[in-house]
Structure 1
Amino acid sequence: MQWSLLRPAGLAPAALVLTTMAASAEGGKSAGPSEFLLVTQIVLLIAVGRGLGEIMQRIGQPSVIGELLAGILLGPSLFGWIWPEAQAAIFPKMPEQKAMLDGIAQVGILLLLLLTGMETDLKLVRKVGKAAIAISIAGILVPFACGFALGEYLPDALLPKPEQRLVASLFMGTALSISSVKIVAVVVREMNFMRRNVGQIIVATAVIDDTIGWIIIAVIFSLASQGTLDIASVAKAVLGTLVFLAISFTVGRRLVFQLIRWANDNLVSAAAVITVILLLMGVMALITHAIGVHTVLGAFVAGILVGESPILTRQIDERLRGLISSFFMPVFFGLAGLSADLSVLRDPTLLMLTALLVVIASVGKFGGAFAGGTVGGLSTRESLALASGMNARGSTEVIIATIGLSIGVLSQNLFTMIVTMAIVTTMAMPPMLRAALAKLPMNKEEKERLEREEFEKRGFVANLERPLLAVDESVTATFASHIVGLIAGMRGLPITVLHIGKRASEQQKDRDADKSHEAVVKKAAETVSAVGDGDSGSIDVVTRARRAELGETITEEARKGFDLLVVGVDKVAAAKDRFDRSIEDIAAKFDGPLAIVAAKGKHLKQPMPDGLNILVPVSGSGVSKRGAEVAVALTQAGSGSLRVIYVATTRDKGAQRGASRGLGQEAGILKDASDLAARYDVDITTTLRVNRSPEAAILREIDTTDVDLVVMGVDRIQADHLSFGGVADAVLRQSKVSVLLVSSGEARQASSEKG
């Protein structure tokens, strides 16, 4: 046989075995759906699709191209041409057998749109919204007009229902005007241009294109189902879509967050959050179907809302992405490739029409996006990069074509032409975009922003998703609530306030106290609403009461995925270098980062100050940088000042020699702190001290300046009790002002300290 032609990723031998088994197992059987054939089909599509996808990625192409090519290789275009009997045995045209694979593919469409929605960054869209909207409108109108005109002049033989030419023309216009967010985002991300200004505009424009495209597809779906231009049904679809989107992005946004948090905090079964998200996707898909539009719009919006949830987004994304990428994507795109019979392009007329379709699609989209970029204020180079990126159709085009085929808008030949166009434009996009982006210069403002964002990837505060605040009814608890509110308000983080001072029966009597802590957090968050961006200043706060022993309560809360525990209780330190028993119990049951607040000085009378004058000691270690990050965030969130101190301790044998050399290392550490503050436009004062005792130098700095809060990054020391070392202990006990200790999650061996 000529099977050697079909050796993608070295999988031909396995495929040949499966082919022979399938042909022999099904040979002579009566027609009917076969589970054996279904599994064979899935195995072949996954094996060949993933193998070709790997090859595509290695040569700089999206893996979805390999999955599409796998279906084309296994379909009538090649496999059916070389070995028609075997191809017909594995992929029979029986409706019942095809329906089994179609069912999996339909679920795959919904999951793909869910994942695409999760990758949609609405903050990015809002940030470059005006330019992106102007570019998107121009980038849609021009190719839409081209596609509509092409649809009007297509031969009747290419239309399944020539009497519904208007619907087919609208569908062609949409198919040519829409871009693939997934392909665009993947290529831009692979080139490290996702955070560049032009990269943000490209992705944001693709998001708007996609959203508008799905709304248009929804209207066309309604038209196709009615058969004629029924104004009432179209109005119902359009109004229903607008109402659905309005509710989704207002009430629905908060509801989705509440559902995710409720599932995470209350359900104990495995992957409970994923289950809730899949149910949410299904319900929203059914809602869009009920209002007369396609289910994909519901799945897409569900993905956006899940991605907007302020908690657990990384874990959810990782769990879903693996299943979708390894199973549903190869099956869906492979099935799309199976449906495309490229052998029909041997007809010169169809081949010419396909080439014309590719040219019209490329010129229309490229020209429209370039014109939109020029009107939107982009430079010529930026407009070229934008136009190159927007020309990729990829997975979105295939999904649209599949929908068109399923609802009878597209004929088999027209479907093949559109899939061919999607493959050609998508394969041309990466090298074109790389060439255009490689020539783009970077201005100073963009460079500074990228450096800050790169730092935030490794930072502590920037990666917080869900802090837990454990408090009693003390003044320190109120001050801790204020601090947490400032941090949460900068990024819109949800806060859980856990009251640990009393049991549930007593806690019920003090409900006003519960509300007061919640109010303190919200009030502090509101004070930073003018400083942050996006959802800053708008945070969700829930209150929980202690209903068991303290250690058991903390253990129960720790399993819910909190990434910082802030403790604010009346008594912090006990005798003999020990923390109070309650803090010891809390720390023993929480393995993550821990922050301990001790209110002193003026904060005992004013636990909700208008500003904070902060002192942060630095040593160059990772944990001291964490303390500096928290100090900078608190200073940025409210009015006040920030003072940084480095103590060159004479406990080091070389300290005096270092001092005589100008203390180059120490100056470098202070410069790092200054650079950190500068990234967030925070003014700081730096101080360098030489002292035998770091704690003495820090305490002296407190006494001689106007600071009212010391923020220290500390390590947990391995011991039979909670310990952060002698320096932290001395400052905590002897300081006349409030102290905030921010610890790492893991304990380390005790070592000599430098401050």
Structure 2
Amino acid sequence: MPWRLLRPAGLALAALMLTTIAAGAETGKSSGPSEFLLVAQIVLLIAVGRGLGEIMQRIGQPSVIGELLAGIILGPSLFGWIWPEAQAAIFPKTPEQKAMIDGIAQVGILLLLLLTGMETDLKLVKKVGKAAIAISIAGILVPFACGFALGEFLPDSLLPNPQARLVASLFMGTALSISSVKIVAVVVREMNFMRRNVGQIIVATAVIDDTIGWVIIAVIFSLASHGTLDIASVAKAVLGTLAFLAVSFTIGRRLVFQLIRWANDNLVSTAPVITVILLLMCAMAMITHAIGVHTVLGAFVAGILVGESPILTRQIDERLRGLISSFFMPVFFGLAGLAADLSVLRDPNLLMLTGLLVVIASVGKFGGAFVGGTLGGLTRRESLALASGMNARGSTEVIIATIGLSIGVLSQNLFTMIVTMAIVTTMAMPPMLRAALARLPMNKEEKERLEREEFEKRGFVANLERPLLAVDESVNATFAAHIAGLIAGMRGLPITVLHIGKNAKEQEKGRGAEESHEAVVKKAAEAVSAKTEDDTGSVDIVTRARRTELGETITEEARKGFDLIVVGIDKVITGKDRFDRKIDDIAAKFEGPLAIVSAKGKHLKQPNPDALNILVPVSGSAISKRGAEVAVALAQGGSGSLRVIYVATTRDKGAQRGASRNLSQEAGILKDASDLAARYEVDITTTLRVNRAPEAAILREIDTTDVDLVVMGVDRIQGDHLSFGGVADAVLRQSKVSVLLVSSGDARQAGAEQG
């Protein structure tokens, strides 16, 4: 172990000694529940748990193992064995004191399941659904049967209620059959296999395992509550669970999105969205409790619905993850470790039964997943990797064991055995999975898909979550609505239409009319959906009207988290070769990217065209690539053609030496554009021009081809008014066809990007 890791370990030991002395003094003062002891317990669980978690991660193990080991070290297994008086002083077994920290742990379970649900990718499950379902069924049935059989043959001494052996056997079967989607996802992600085909199947199968497991646990919980096999109560739990899931994934999906957006847009208090999510989690947990199943199912489903919300997903995840990972997880898993007394394994019979449990759990899950993978059409190597990954029980197993202990299905010894099994299988999984995945070859199709997804991670259009459309009553506004509809329809993005013209309120009231801007957005999005044969074209549209000064209106909207504003107003530029004052005001108050639309030519007569013939100039800069991305997205979403032009100016080495001497730079830039279009299966034509004035070359290309829209990526130039430089200004003023300028953020941001 590195010396730098021993130093914090020594500090933790010193903290433990001081806490012990203080806890002893506190215990002597009062026999009732103590807030001091609660804080001392939390301090130790977090400090030791996070410290050991850090060490575990450095040696390639999940941090949850360190948090579990922290509880085992602080519990009767080690600390209580070495210094029982001190351990009892810090962690007294009095019901009142124990209930205080148990309450925090129970909240931690719900939050942990909320986070797990948020990490569940339903699109991934749908994509590999057939194979994953077949694999999951086989991967559950085999270990379930093994666990059920083990439960039937367990000695009566290990069962808290031998008369309810059926419930215990069902619980054992479930405990052995479920995998930890969190641990599986973490290891697969750390190995950069999350987007590999086999990685997707592994994670999707773990998700299905988790979902089925929580439903079974919910039924067993209902069964345990009644003590006997009450058909009516079980039927109520099963039907109630199915109804709950059906409503959640239909009406609930849209309701959660609406709640998140409403909280974000209307509440001004600190972190209103997090408040709404926590209330939603609690409400769904109480609903599942009311229908007779465990609250964890409600929290898990709430997390899935929050993760499916199309806006603010990154911000929500970051804010919740920090609190859950640093506070609730160490406390919960530390308490689970405290409850596991490994000293009982000194009994040879219990040690042998624990080893048997580990073997049965591993062989059952490994064999079931391997058979399922083979039946699901995977190769032998892929099935081996799948089986290795699915064997990790991790946090899910500990949560299930904790529930079993709390409802009286598991005895203390049986709980310790299951926690030991969870630790052993989880620690064995990462090296096994790494070895299995390292041998998997990558086919051409998978390689192309991964390259495209890697590009999208760094891209602009693929990371948009929420565009804002600012329009007046002009024809240009209708064309801007068509452009915004194509962009939103590609990924089903929710869009807000902000009316800023003189008749803004009347326009807002007329949103249902066929000629309204909202109708244009919807029609364009539906055209995208029809072309891609997907349901992403169904966009949610909200209408707002300007009710204050334009600058104040944009400021108020900007705080709601929009990451692009599409501007379509009657006058784009004034006679002084400057942008209209309205556009200046919008740019001054909105620091994010702008998309300024200027309809010309045939789009003044037909602002909602069936096809777009697009020209996009490129220069190799980051902002010109952004313009190319938008152009490709528009070409992919609509119909028509895409033409890319690169202009080598006198400042370029290639032009100075002669275009025929050195064209490697120009060819590379055009190839990047071609590769971008190829990723989205868009046909393009590339053109290289050597000219002293880029704007002249672009305008000539417009005159000599059939393009009807120019898309340019432009940087804001810092100054007293909005400007994108001479080339963009010249094209905007002199072009005979429509122009779309896609900018970076504010001038300071543009400078940072250029630097």
TM class by smaller structure: over 0.9
Counterpart of 2:394 in structure 1 is 394
Deviation at 1:539, TM superposition (A): 1.0
SS in 2 for 1:61: coil
Partner letter of residue 714 of structure 2? Answer: V
User: Contact 1:123 / 1:534 at 8 angstroms: preserved in 2?
Assistant: no
SS in 1 for 2:60: coil
Deviation string 1:548-582 (CA, Å, 9 cap, x unpaired) is 11111001100111000000111111122201111
Q: Give me the whole-angstrom Cα distance separating, in 2, the residues matched to 1:533 and 1:198.
A: 26
Deviation at 1:605, TM superposition (A): 1.1
Deviation at 1:79, TM superposition (A): 0.4
SS in 2 for 1:659: coil
Deviation string 1:720-740 (CA, Å, 9 cap, x unpaired) is 111011111111111111100
Query: Cα gap change, 1:6/1:471 in structure 2, threshold over 3 Å: closer, same or farther?
Result: closer
Q: Give me the whole-angstrom Cα distance separating, in 1, the residues matched to 2:610 and 2:383.
A: 47
Percent identity (aligned): 88
Deviation string 1:169-197 (CA, Å, 9 cap, x unpaired) is 00000000000000000000000000000
Counterpart of 2:325 in structure 1 is 325
Q: Superposition pairs for residues 638-653 of structure 1, below 5 Å?
A: 638-652=638-652
Counterpart of 1:528 in structure 2 is 528
1:556 equivalenced with 2:559 (yes/no): no
Partner letter of residue 546 of structure 2? Answer: R
Counterpart of 1:16 in structure 2 is 17
SS in 1 for 2:567: strand
SS in 2 for 1:745: coil
Q: Give me the whole-angstrom Cα distance separating, in 1, the residues matched to 2:332 and 2:19.
A: 20
Query: Cα gap change, 1:9/1:262 in structure 2, threshold over 3 Å: closer, same or farther?
Result: farther
User: Contact 2:223 / 2:234 at 8 angstroms: preserved in 1?
Assistant: yes
Deviation string 1:229-255 (CA, Å, 9 cap, x unpaired) is 000000000000000000000000000
User: Contact 1:467 / 1:494 at 8 angstroms: preserved in 2?
Assistant: yes
Q: Give me the whole-angstrom Cα distance separating, in 1, the residues matched to 2:22 and 2:614.
A: 74
User: Contact 1:9 / 1:52 at 8 angstroms: preserved in 2?
Assistant: no
Deviation at 1:714, TM superposition (A): 0.3
User: Contact 1:503 / 1:547 at 8 angstroms: preserved in 2?
Assistant: no
Q: Give me the whole-angstrom Cα distance separating, in 2, the residues matched to 1:512 and 1:148.
A: 59
Q: Give me the whole-angstrom Cα distance separating, in 2, the residues matched to 1:210 and 1:739.
A: 51
Counterpart of 1:211 in structure 2 is 211
User: Contact 2:480 / 2:597 at 8 angstroms: preserved in 1?
Assistant: yes
Partner letter of residue 31 of structure 1? Answer: S
Partner letter of residue 480 of structure 2? Answer: A
Query: Cα gap change, 1:531/1:55 in structure 2, threshold over 3 Å: closer, same or farther?
Result: farther
Q: Give me the whole-angstrom Cα distance separating, in 2, the residues matched to 1:413 and 1:622.
A: 61
Counterpart of 1:128 in structure 2 is 128
Deviation at 1:653, TM superposition (A): 7.0
Counterpart of 2:385 in structure 1 is 385
Deviation string 1:411-454 (CA, Å, 9 cap, x unpaired) is 00000000000000000000000000000000000101111111
Counterpart of 1:490 in structure 2 is 490
Q: Give me the whole-angstrom Cα distance separating, in 1, the residues matched to 2:430 and 2:493.
A: 37
Q: Give me the whole-angstrom Cα distance separating, in 2, the residues matched to 1:98 and 1:289.
A: 23
Deviates more, 1:151-160 or 1:507-516: 507-516
Counterpart of 2:75 in structure 1 is 75
1:297 equivalenced with 2:297 (yes/no): yes
Q: Give me the whole-angstrom Cα distance separating, in 2, the residues matched to 1:211 and 1:534.
A: 26
Query: Cα gap change, 1:289/1:668 in structure 2, threshold over 3 Å: closer, same or farther?
Result: same
Partner letter of residue 141 of structure 1? Answer: L
Aligned residue pairs, count: 747
Q: Give me the whole-angstrom Cα distance separating, in 2, the residues matched to 1:393 and 1:501.
A: 59
1:35 equivalenced with 2:35 (yes/no): yes
Query: Cα gap change, 1:615/1:110 in structure 2, threshold over 3 Å: closer, same or farther?
Result: same
Deviation at 1:520, TM superposition (A): 1.0
1:445 equivalenced with 2:439 (yes/no): no
Deviates more, 1:650-659 or 1:187-196: 650-659
Partner letter of residue 305 of structure 2? Answer: L
Deviation at 1:533, TM superposition (A): 7.5
Query: Cα gap change, 1:511/1:196 in structure 2, threshold over 3 Å: closer, same or farther?
Result: closer
Counterpart of 2:193 in structure 1 is 193
SS in 1 for 2:487: helix
SS in 1 for 2:93: coil
Deviates more, 1:559-568 or 1:659-668: 659-668
Q: Give me the whole-angstrom Cα distance separating, in 2, the residues matched to 1:405 and 1:750.
A: 58
SS in 2 for 1:193: coil
Q: Give me the whole-angstrom Cα distance separating, in 2, the residues matched to 1:477 and 1:537.
A: 21
Q: Give me the whole-angstrom Cα distance separating, in 2, the residues matched to 1:438 and 1:9.
A: 38
User: Contact 1:503 / 1:546 at 8 angstroms: preserved in 2?
Assistant: no
Q: Give me the whole-angstrom Cα distance separating, in 1, the residues matched to 2:187 and 2:263.
A: 34
Counterpart of 2:456 in structure 1 is 456
Counterpart of 2:3 in structure 1 is none
Deviation at 1:532, TM superposition (A): 4.4
User: Contact 1:715 / 1:748 at 8 angstroms: preserved in 2?
Assistant: no
Q: Give me the whole-angstrom Cα distance separating, in 1, the residues matched to 2:669 and 2:407.
A: 65
Partner letter of residue 275 of structure 2? Answer: T
Counterpart of 1:431 in structure 2 is 431
Q: Superposition pairs for residues 735-754 of structure 1, below 5 Å?
A: 735-747=735-747
Deviation string 1:592-625 (CA, Å, 9 cap, x unpaired) is 0000001111111111111111000000000000
Q: Give me the whole-angstrom Cα distance separating, in 2, the residues matched to 1:234 and 1:215.
A: 12
Q: Give me the whole-angstrom Cα distance separating, in 1, the residues matched to 2:10 and 2:717.
A: 52
Counterpart of 1:262 in structure 2 is 262
User: Contact 2:505 / 2:546 at 8 angstroms: preserved in 1?
Assistant: no
Query: Cα gap change, 1:214/1:750 in structure 2, threshold over 3 Å: closer, same or farther?
Result: closer
Q: Superposition pairs for residues 153-172 of structure 1, below 5 Å?
A: 153-172=153-172
SS in 2 for 1:578: coil
Q: Superposition pairs for residues 200-239 of structure 1, below 5 Å?
A: 200-239=200-239
Q: Give me the whole-angstrom Cα distance separating, in 2, the residues matched to 1:212 and 1:30.
A: 47
Partner letter of residue 529 of structure 1? Answer: S
Partner letter of residue 618 of structure 2? Answer: V
Q: Superposition pairs for residues 364-375 of structure 1, below 5 Å?
A: 364-375=364-375
Counterpart of 2:117 in structure 1 is 117
Q: RMSD across aligned C-alpha pairs, in angstroms?
A: 1.7
Counterpart of 2:273 in structure 1 is 273
User: Contact 1:636 / 1:680 at 8 angstroms: preserved in 2?
Assistant: yes
Q: Give me the whole-angstrom Cα distance separating, in 2, the residues matched to 1:56 and 1:512.
A: 58
SS in 1 for 2:630: helix
Partner letter of residue 16 of structure 1? Answer: M
Deviation at 1:749, TM superposition (A): 11
User: Contact 2:648 / 2:654 at 8 angstroms: preserved in 1?
Assistant: no
Partner letter of residue 27 of structure 2? Answer: E
Q: Give me the whole-angstrom Cα distance separating, in 2, the residues matched to 1:6 and 1:578.
A: 63
Q: Give me the whole-angstrom Cα distance separating, in 1, the residues matched to 2:680 and 2:505.
A: 45
Deviation at 1:23, TM superposition (A): 1.1
Deviation at 1:537, TM superposition (A): 0.8
Query: Cα gap change, 1:456/1:395 in structure 2, threshold over 3 Å: closer, same or farther?
Result: same
Deviation at 1:209, TM superposition (A): 0.1
Partner letter of residue 98 of structure 1? Answer: K
With the length of structure 2 as denominator, give the TM-score of the two structures.
Answer: 0.97
Q: Give me the whole-angstrom Cα distance separating, in 1, the residues matched to 2:85 and 2:7.
A: 16
Q: Give me the whole-angstrom Cα distance separating, in 2, the residues matched to 1:459 and 1:52.
A: 37
User: Contact 1:529 / 1:538 at 8 angstroms: preserved in 2?
Assistant: yes
Query: Cα gap change, 1:567/1:438 in structure 2, threshold over 3 Å: closer, same or farther?
Result: same
Deviation string 1:58-110 (CA, Å, 9 cap, x unpaired) is 00000000000000000000000000000011111101110001000000000
Deviation string 1:377-434 (CA, Å, 9 cap, x unpaired) is 0000000000000000000000000000000000000000000000000000000000
Deviation at 1:633, TM superposition (A): 0.4
Deviation string 1:332-378 (CA, Å, 9 cap, x unpaired) is 00000000000111111110000000000000000000000000000
Deviation string 1:16-71 (CA, Å, 9 cap, x unpaired) is 111111112212x4422111110000000000000000000000000000000000
Deviates more, 1:309-318 or 1:605-614: 605-614
User: 5+ unaligned residues in a row in structure 2: which ranges?
Assistant: 1-5
Partner letter of residue 471 of structure 2? Answer: V
Q: Give me the whole-angstrom Cα distance separating, in 1, the residues matched to 2:10 and 2:643.
A: 60
Q: Give me the whole-angstrom Cα distance separating, in 1, the residues matched to 2:735 and 2:707.
A: 11
User: Contact 1:340 / 1:419 at 8 angstroms: preserved in 2?
Assistant: yes
Query: Cα gap change, 1:102/1:134 in structure 2, threshold over 3 Å: closer, same or farther?
Result: same
Partner letter of residue 252 of structure 2? Answer: G
Counterpart of 1:707 in structure 2 is 707
Q: Give me the whole-angstrom Cα distance separating, in 2, the residues matched to 1:349 and 1:509.
A: 77
SS in 2 for 1:416: helix
Partner letter of residue 729 of structure 2? Answer: D
